């Protein structure tokens, strides 16, 4: 959908831009590099700016790595600025070489279009829920919580032919500058080299910044640290086409700025947003709300304060208080994970609503409590409704099959040889039924062991779970 100029710039109203945004972003860990920070600071303090960040449509949904740029945009909007979430409907077909040692497989146009549609909905949902989350924690003008207009850069790239692009953009591009971009140099020195298609990516993204600047007054681009060269290309193009001072100038009239955010890794070096090689998605159909919550509960102590600053709207004093309590309690009760549980609750509420956070906390209690006394089968099945780990089966199957075979049949274990993996788990005393160790491979659940006479909770190791519930008898 094309951006509406009125929707982006808004009606003419008086407003105040809250002070200290750049300092706050820096304190929270959002700033890796910034062009002309003093000039940008003055620009942010003087008037409303328009800020954009891009989302690559390589997948149909957002994952938690996207929270970095989305949270950055949220801070800008809550401080009085306008934001543009931009999906690369055009550039996604080309593929960004930044941070990659090999070229992406050619993107299918129909798949990219489908991803753009689903990502648009995902971004809209994020901001709608994030504003509700912000309303409960910060004081700001409701006008500042207007839903951003998500757009795709295919809206303008689709109407530009090659000759026009070469004449208007290629004419101003210096090949020696393009060759010196870090992303290009890294690929040129690799065995596979760099295709011409990928080489032109920085020109396409530069044009995005110029188009948004020209049509909607966009002055700031936010991107990951691997986007620094692409952002500079956009600033340079704006300078050349608008006759602005050069990007390195300290002139206060320079019209465009760039901010890069860190590409986060955990204390162990794992790329943020990945868990056992799989992205943690914001879409509950791809990553359950419970698993999303648990990801943050399991964050290392070395990372938790950093994540509280980045992924919540808690104040500096609130975060300091949480960390003091966490540190004081860490030696006596490390399992309490005070800071991690607060982080998980905050992020899950923002992404999945207060109801989603409450449900995840309830499930955590259900599954990790030392005793299930007092729980009913109805409570457990209701809490897991829609979760693939809930399996409804006939009572005779639940009681007549060895636990080892149930674990293999319903894939509690992940192995090419499921039964063998289950047997090994039993022998290692790592398979549990309702928090009790399965003693031997032919062990079967008894009616008396079932929670409320219907439910068995199978657990492999610390956190792989399977809920087996006997279907209710017809009345």
| Angstrom distance (rounded) from CA 285 to CA 72 | 25
pLDDT at 32 over 80: yes
| Angstrom distance (rounded) from CA 236 to CA 11 | 30
What pLDDT score does 5 carry?
34
Domain 377-470 has CATH 3.10.290.10: yes
Contact by Cβ (8 Å): 457, 367: yes
What band does 87 get if pLDDT is binned at 50, 70 and 90? very high
Q: What is the mean pLDDT of residues 164-172?
A: 80
**CA neighbours within 13 Å on the CB side: how many for 19?**
0
Least confident window among 113-117, 138-142, 280-284, 378-382: 138-142
- Phi then psi dihedrals of residue 77, to 5 deg: -65, -40
How far is Cα of residue 290 from the mean position of the Cα atoms in its chain?
16
| Angstrom distance (rounded) from CA 268 to CA 61 | 26
What global pTM score does this model have? 0.81
Handedness of CA 113, 114, 118, 119 (dihedral sign): negative
Same fold for the pair 5-261 and 274-368: no
Domain 274-368 has CATH 3.40.190.10: no
**Residue whose structure tokens are 């909007």:** 77
Sequence-separated (6 or more) residues with CB below 8 Å from residue 339: 301, 304, 305, 308, 322, 323, 325, 326
| Angstrom distance (rounded) from CA 111 to CA 57 | 9
| Angstrom distance (rounded) from CA 231 to CA 260 | 9
User: pLDDT digit string (tens) for 363-393?
Assistant: 888 777 777 777 788 888 888 888 888 999 9
| Angstrom distance (rounded) from CA 165 to CA 156 | 11
What band does 21 get if pLDDT is binned at 50, 70 and 90? very high
| Angstrom distance (rounded) from CA 407 to CA 403 | 6
Q: Which of 14-18, 75-79, 239-243 has the highest mean pLDDT?
A: 75-79
| Angstrom distance (rounded) from CA 475 to CA 473 | 6
Question: Which of 225, 259, 223 has the alpha carbon at shortest distance from 35?
Answer: 259
User: pLDDT digit string (tens) for 292-331?
Assistant: 999 999 999 999 999 999 999 999 999 999 999 999 988 8
What band does 6 get if pLDDT is binned at 50, 70 and 90? very low
Q: Coil, strand or helix: which one is 445? A: coil
Sequence-separated (6 or more) residues with CB below 8 Å from residue 149: 1, 3, 4, 7, 8, 84
According to DSSP H, which parts of 169-248 are helical? 175-179, 182-188, 196-199, 201-216, 228-242
- Phi then psi dihedrals of residue 59, to 5 deg: -145, 160
Share of the chain above pLDDT 90, in %: 48
| Angstrom distance (rounded) from CA 10 to CA 49 | 12
What pLDDT score does 475 carry?
52
Query: Domain limits of the chain?
Result: 5-261, 274-368, 377-470
Contact by Cβ (8 Å): 333, 53: no
Contact by Cβ (8 Å): 220, 257: yes
Considering the domain delimited by 5-261, tell me its CATH architecture.
3-Layer(aba) Sandwich (3.40)
């Amino acid at each position: 959908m094309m951006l509406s100029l009125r929707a982006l710039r808004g009606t003419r109203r008086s407003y105040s831009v809250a002070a200290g945004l750049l300092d706050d972003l820096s304190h929270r860990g959002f700033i890796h590099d910034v062009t002309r920070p003093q000039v940008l600071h003055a620009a942010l303090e003087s008037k409303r700016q328009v800020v954009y960040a891009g989302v690559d449509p390589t997948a149909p949904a957002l994952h938690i790595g996207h929270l970095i740029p989305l949270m950055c945009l949220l801070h800008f909007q809550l401080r009085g600025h306008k934001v543009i979430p931009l999906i690369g409907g055009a550039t996604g077909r080309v593929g960004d070489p930044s941070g990659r040692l090999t070229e992406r497989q050619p993107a299918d146009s129909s798949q990219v279009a489908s991803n753009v549609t689903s990502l648009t909905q995902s971004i809209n949902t994020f901001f709608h829920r994030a504003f509700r989350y912000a309303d409960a924690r910060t004081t700001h003008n409701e006008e500042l919580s207007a839903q951003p207009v998500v757009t795709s850069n295919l809206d303008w790239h689709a109407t530009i032919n090659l000759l026009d692009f070469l004449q208007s953009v290629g004419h101003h591009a210096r090949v020696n500058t393009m060759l010196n971009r870090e992303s290009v140099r890294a690929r040129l020195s690799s065995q596979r080299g760099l295709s011409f298609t990928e080489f032109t990516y920085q020109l396409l993204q530069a044009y995005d910044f110029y188009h948004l600047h020209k049509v909607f007054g966009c002055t700031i681009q936010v991107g990951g640290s691997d986007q620094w060269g692409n952002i500079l290309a956009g600033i340079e193009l704006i300078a050349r086409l608008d006759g602005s001072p050069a990007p390195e100038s300290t002139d206060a009239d320079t019209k465009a700025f760039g901010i890069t955010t860190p590409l986060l890794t955990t204390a162990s070096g794992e790329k943020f947003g990945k868990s056992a090689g799989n992205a943690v998605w914001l879409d509950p159909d791809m990553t359950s709300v419970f698993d999303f919550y648990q990801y943050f509960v399991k964050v290392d102590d070395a990372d938790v304060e950093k994540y509280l600053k980045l992924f919540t709207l808690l104040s500096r004093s609130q975060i300091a208080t949480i960390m003091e309590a966490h540190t004081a309690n860490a030696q006596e009760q490390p399992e309490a994970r005070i800071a991690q549980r607060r982080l998980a609750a905050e992020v899950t509420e923002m992404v999945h609503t207060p109801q989603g956070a409450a449900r995840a906390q309830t499930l955590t209690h259900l599954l990790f409590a030392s005793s299930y006394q007092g729980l009913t089968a109805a409570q457990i099945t209701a809490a897991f409704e829609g979760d693939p780990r809930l399996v409804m089966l006939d009572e005779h199957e639940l009681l007549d099959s060895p636990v080892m075979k149930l674990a293999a049949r319903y894939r509690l274990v992940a192995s090419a040889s499921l039964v063998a993996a289950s047997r090994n788990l039993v022998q290692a005393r790592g398979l549990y039924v309702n928090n009790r160790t399965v003693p031997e491979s032919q062990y079967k659940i008894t009616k008396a062991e079932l929670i409320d006479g219907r439910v068995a909770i199978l657990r492999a190791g610390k956190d792989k779970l399977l809920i087996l519930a006997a279907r209710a008898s017809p009345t």
